[in-house]
Structures are given as C-alpha cells and as structure tokens.
Chain A
Amino acid sequence: MINNEHTIVKVGIADLNIVSAPDCIRTTGLGSCVGVVLYNQPKQIAGMAHIMLPNSKLAKQTNLNLYKYADTAIDILVDQLCRKGLRKSSLQAKLAGGAQMFQFSSNNDMMRIGQRNIEAVLQKLAEHHIPVIASDVGGNFGRTIEFDPATANLRIKTITKGEEII
C-alpha cells in the first residue's frame, strides 16, 4: 500500500523544525512573533522557526532558549539545513507575523516587539545573504502559517482578513 498521507509538522512558540516534501510545516497563532521559513525548492526541504523576541543579548535568562530569539534561531535553522546537505547560498526565505495586537499608550518597548522582531529577522537574513522572496508582516491581527516544501507556497490564515498564499 502506498502511503500518500502527508504529515503536518508543528512548530510551537519559540521552537523550530525541518521538513521535506511531501510533509508540510506549520505554526499557529502568530501575533507579534515572526514565523520564518528557509527553504530550497529544488530539494523540497524547508525549516521553520517561530521567533518570539529579537535579541538574545537582552535576555535576563541563564538557561537561554536559543530557539526564542531572532539572532540565535536563524543561525541554528541555517546550520540544520546545511547539515541536510543544502548550501547556504541555495536557501530562500519567506516570513509572516510581527503584528502589533494592541495599541498601548505606554511607550514600553516590549509593546512594539512585532516591528522589532521583523527588523531583527531581516537583518539576520541579510547577514546570511538569504533573499526574502515574500513576506506578510505587520498589522494588528493573528496569523497561522503553513509551508509546503514541494511548491514553496506559504499559506497564511487569518480570522478577519481571510486566507492568502505567498
């Protein structure tokens, strides 16, 4: 019997994972967090990180969760994809998220974290010379994203703005 069922690999908050076709990879309920997908379409392999904070150097934590921060998670994702036999120069990126869910009056930096996450991710991708092929970022709404390494489509679901594929 041929098993043509594909699995959907889940990525939690401050988490990352890697899939190859026919499996898909998804993360749910992105608000200010940014979902970053790095992929190589000919090889049909992709990795996704659900990034919560921009900079690990600002952490006040002793046991750092390296998957939580833009600067560390993207390094790890690149490294893991390279271990799968991909060359860094063959990777491309898509990203979504980085919303600001609430308009706070206090100018607490934590409260515009979405924008800071996006900037940190873009900066890190630029350091690795990984081109951003498509993105859907900002706004004030949540997103669930699912990436299919076979087609390199990133499907973005929202509650109020419907669904789109980038």
Chain B
Amino acid sequence: MTKINKSLALMAGVAGLAMSAVTATAEMSYPALAPLGEPPIPLDNKMSDAKVELGKILFWDPRIGGDASTACVTCHEPDQGWAFGDSLSRGYPGTVHWRNSQSVINSAYLGQLFWAGSAASLEKQAPSAAKGAVAGNGENDVMETRMAFIPEYVKRFNDVFGTENPLIGDAWAAIAAFERTLIVNDTPVDKYLAGDTSALTEEQVAGMELFNGKAGCIQCHNGAQATDENYYNLGVPPAERWEDDGLAQVTFRYELYAKGVSQDMYRKLKDDPGLYFRTKEPEHMGKFRTPPLRYTLYTAPYMHNGSFWDLREVVEFYNAGGGENDFTDGTMAATKSELIKPLGLSDEEIDQLVAFLEGFSGEELRVEPPVLPPYEALASE
C-alpha cells in the first residue's frame, strides 16, 4: 500500500500541476492524440505463439473459476466488444457484479487495470477477476490442480514454461500474453493521425477539432492511448440498480466490506467511491481512471457503472457540465473535477464529436473460439 500511495501522491501532484496550468493559460498543451503503435511487452512475460495460443484457451475455460461456470470470456464477450453489454457486469452465478465490464481490446497499453486502477498489469488483473467472489470466485489451488488433470494443458504449459505441471501464475501470464494480441490500432483515427487525410470525414475532422479545443476532451483523453490514466470525478450518477435491485445492493455492501472501508463509511456510502477504495483518502472519493476511447463503438454501455447507453448520451452528459453524485454535492465529498463544465456545444457540434469518437473504433475484432481440452484420469482403476 505504501508503494501505491506514493505513486498516487505523485500522480495527484502531476494532476494538480496540470490543473493550475490550465487556469494560468487557456492554451494549455497536452500530449497530442497519436497513432497507437504496438503494445509494450513486459520483459518477464515475453510473447510466443505457443503462449498466446495457451492463453486463448484459458481465456475461454470456465474451469479457471470457482464452479467451472465462469471464464474470462463470460464477462468479456467478443460479440459484446470483449466486454459485457449491461450496465453492471453479470458476475458469478448467484451474484451481480458491481461495475461495468471493460473491454479487453487494447488493455495491453494500460498501466492500470480496473476502473480504479487496482491492478498494475494484465498478469495481476487476471487472478483478481478469477478469484473475486462476485467475478470468478476461484481458488488458486483448485484451479491449478484442475489443470493438472487436463493432459493438453500439462503438455502446453510444459512446452511454454518448462514446468512438470501447470502453475496458476503461468496461467495468468499466458492469458495476459493472449490479451496483448487483442489490439485494434488501425482505426480511421489512427490512419488519419498517421497521415491519411481521407480516413476521416469532414464531420469527423470537425469533431476532432472540438475534441482538441472547445470540448476539451483532450485534457484527459490525450496521447496515443487517448487516456492520461489519471483519476477524476465527473459526477456520473450512481448506478440505478443500487436503488431498486436487491442483488445489486448485496454486492454493493459486499464491496464496502471487502475493500476494507471503516465501519462509518460502510454505513454511509451509497455510491461507488472509486479510487478511495484503494487509498482511503477522502480527496479520492468518486474518482475513476480515464478510460481509453478506441473500440468504444462496440462497448456500450459506458462509464464505470454503465450509466450511458450510447456515445451521444456521453457527449451530452459532458456538454451539460457532467452530473451530480454523492461525491460532488458534499454528501460524502466534493471532488468533482474542475475540468468538467458546460461546453456550449450545438447539436451539430455534438454530432461532429460523436462522429469523431466513432472513428476511434474500426472493424470489430473476432477470433475463432478455441476447443476446450477435456479432463482425463491420471490413474486407472
């Protein structure tokens, strides 16, 4: 935690600097949008075809979970943008998840996974999802032992990692390697930024100018990834399901309990405090990491709790100066970002901005689902 706190403090400092710079000069410069390029590959998890193929099978395998019903793909479905098409993700049987499922596409570029950035790598994100009570609810020893009874896994892990039997940590590494192949970096926006001026329509180019100027999107959605990976409270309204769905209320309180908030906060919180869960710093209440924008055409609904169902709704939300939640109005905190203010966009300008955002998505990425290898006995009668 010390380490996390330090790096957050550092980031908060950077954000603070950036904000004072905004007030000082109207024409603050941010890292420009840029073609995405290739994803970074960690030195301790190099890519190989065999590893990627193994990771792909594991991504689809529900035995990597508690009751052998819930695989990675269960909440990251290729035909739902490698995400899940409901406001809150579906969760483990008997539960509902508590946040919107994020797309796996281009997650390879992110330094902070999950909406509050609680995993620093794909290798760490996978076990967190596979083991959480409202996600995979699996246990390391059971998942690892299951793989030892799947001869094809024993062989593949041996080929890739050189172990006698599969190790669960290597499973996360293989899944991460597979996820690093789920790249969409040839969108119309990428092509345009690389010099192909015919890749975007006039309307989209006008939208990009708004993005970089009047609408101010670039203040957070900047650089090649279109995210600064920093944390903000936009005033996204609380999830409606927490108000009227008992199952969601169960999960909401479970998260308060499991994330270790104080007794007082457990009683009072009625909205997802985001980054606060990690740091317990009041100024982090209600803040979530800026999401990247590529592939978003396919990943509705949007925001950490799926409050908005199409991109126009999102743009209209910003145009209205964001919204209100328990962390904007002083109920629990007042951390709304000063960057969020009415934009004064006309209907036509909103259309232009939406058209530009749609240019961030390109073709859908589909793959042939793998065949899952069966269990086999290690012993005969």
Q: Are A and B a genuine interacting pair, yes or no? A: no
* Residue positions of A touching B, CB distance < 8 A: none
